[in-house]
Amino acid sequence: MSHDRPPHLSSSQQRALSKAELETRIEQQRIDILVESNRWREASGGIDAAWHTLMRFKVPLLAVGSIVLLRGTRNPRAVLRVGRRVATWALLARRAQRLLGKR
């Protein structure tokens, strides 16, 4: 809002001018919010897709996790050994994807 309005305006004209300025600012803020929400949606799209994929496999993942937990209580070293192998293969697969450009 600018306070340097011409003094020759009546108070109703000044209010109308002030209202128009406020409406313009509000409209610009709405546009800014829409633009930023679209940017946010695009930036978080990969995370959302991964979350939905994870939720599709929720029951099998819980079952596998339960089995690993039960095995882990009986033989923790074996679970750690298998976990290291899985992590190694996952990292190798990811690097291969990046190297081949299929990301």
> Tens digit of pLDDT for each residue in 5-31?
667 889 999 999 999 999 999 999 999
pLDDT digits (tens, 9 = 90+) for 48-66: 999 999 999 999 989 988 9
Of 51-60, 66-75, 85-94, the range with the lowest mean pLDDT is: 66-75
pTM: 0.47
The overall average pLDDT reported for the chain is 89
DSSP string, 69-100: HHHHHH-HHHHHHHHHHHHHHHHHHHHHHHHH
Nearest to 93 by CA among 82, 102, 84: 102
What are the structural domain ranges in the chain? Answer: 1-43, 57-103
